Amino acid sequence: MTLSSDSKESLPVVKCVARARIPTTTGPDIFLHLYANDRDNKEHLAIVFGEDIRSRTLFQRRKGETQQDRMVRGAYVGKLFPGRTMADSDENLGLSLKFDETTGALQVDPKTTWHDQKTLVRVHSECYTGETAWSARCDCGEQFDHAGKLMGVEREGDIIGGAGRGVIVYLRQEGRGIGLGEKLKAYNLQDLGADTVQANLILKHPADGRDFSLGRAILLDLGISKVRLLTNNPDKVSQAEYPPHLHCVERVPMVPLSWTSENEGIHSSEIEGYLRTKVERMGHLLQRPLKLHSHATKPSSSATMTTHTLV
């Protein structure tokens, strides 16, 4: 299955099951959203920066539920505190949500709900080895950390950050969709001389078996329509498109830290080969020295590309 061919088809149905505030060791509180969907049984996630970015399916009023039920699943405004009784209003902060009386749908009010603004987004695929097992074979862990950092800050160099707002959609598709076991076999093939694309093909997997339609559905559920997409992958720019509802209005590059600093990032022969394959075999828009947004950028009809010059 090709990844871009399904972009006009109907999206998966997603439903946010629960949301919780997570204080972090490095920056602002985040709101972790867990999603169910009609395509697989995996627990896909959205890591949301900003209390006012609201899941429509989570906040939708449900028959027979109590305010306590709503608070427990995370469908509350403002901040929880001991003894709070109302989910839909926070008396301390003077915030109150409104709902359609007939359908129970959340009514978007700019005072309480992020709406129609450009939002920094990363669509990230799970990588156990890179995020948890300190792998220097890929830069997934670094990209994940960097995306979160950019969402917290006003800017970093020439890149405008999210200033406390943003969404990392975290899709459970390990190893470009082939699963952890097959990924480990691919690593052995790489140690035998194959590159990351060849290894997948030898194992009879597509070079990239990921599906980002769940990501689009999750972003729409969060009320995001204008995406500033953190990626070096030009394919992902078109995959963020779901006209007329979802548009990628900017591609924001992610430069490997090791290219800008001798002391930061991943320094290994494996990562050099991995990044070289991404650029040479998979069309990623990275050049060394740092010349991003070259004329190699594929313009998309409905996406306007903003360029950054990184020095």
Residues lying near Zn ion in the complex (CB under 5 A) are found at 127, 130, 138, 140
- Cis peptide bond prior to 289, omega within 30° of 0: yes
The answer to whether 210 is a known catalytic residue is yes
Compare residues 106 and 140 and give the one whose CB is closer to Zn ion: 140
- Cis peptide bond prior to 244, omega within 30° of 0: yes
Compare residues 16 and 127 and give the one whose CB is closer to Zn ion: 127
CA 103 to chain centre: 29
Q: Which segments of 136-290 does DSSP mark as H helices, in order?
A: 140-152, 180-191, 196-202, 213-221, 234-239, 257-260, 269-282
And the tokens for 93? 């902060």
Least CB distance to Zn ion at residue 92 (A): 42
From the list 210, 216, 228, 251, the catalytic residue is: 210
Q: What is the DSSP string of 212-257?
A: -HHHHHHHHHTT--EEEEE-S-HHHHHHT-BTTTBEEEEEE----H
Least CB distance to Zn ion at residue 156 (A): 22
The b/e string for 136-174 (b: 16+ C-beta within 10 A; e otherwise) is bbbbbbbbbebbbebbbeeeeeebbbbbebbbbbbbebb
Compare residues 51 and 142 and give the one whose CB is closer to Zn ion: 142
As a whole number of angstroms, the distance between CA 142 and CA 38 comes to 31
In the 8-state DSSP scheme, what is residue 38?
S
Least CB distance to Zn ion at residue 210 (A): 12
Compare residues 133 and 296 and give the one whose CB is closer to Zn ion: 133
Least CB distance to Zn ion at residue 265 (A): 14
Least CB distance to Zn ion at residue 120 (A): 21
First to last CA, the chain: 39
Whether 268 and 287 have beta carbons less than 8 Å apart is answered as no
The answer to whether 84 is a known catalytic residue is no
From the list 52, 88, 208, 211, the catalytic residue is: 208
And the tokens for 135? 């792998």
Least CB distance to Zn ion at residue 127 (A): 3
Give the residue numbers annotated as catalytic, written as ranges.
Answer: 208, 210
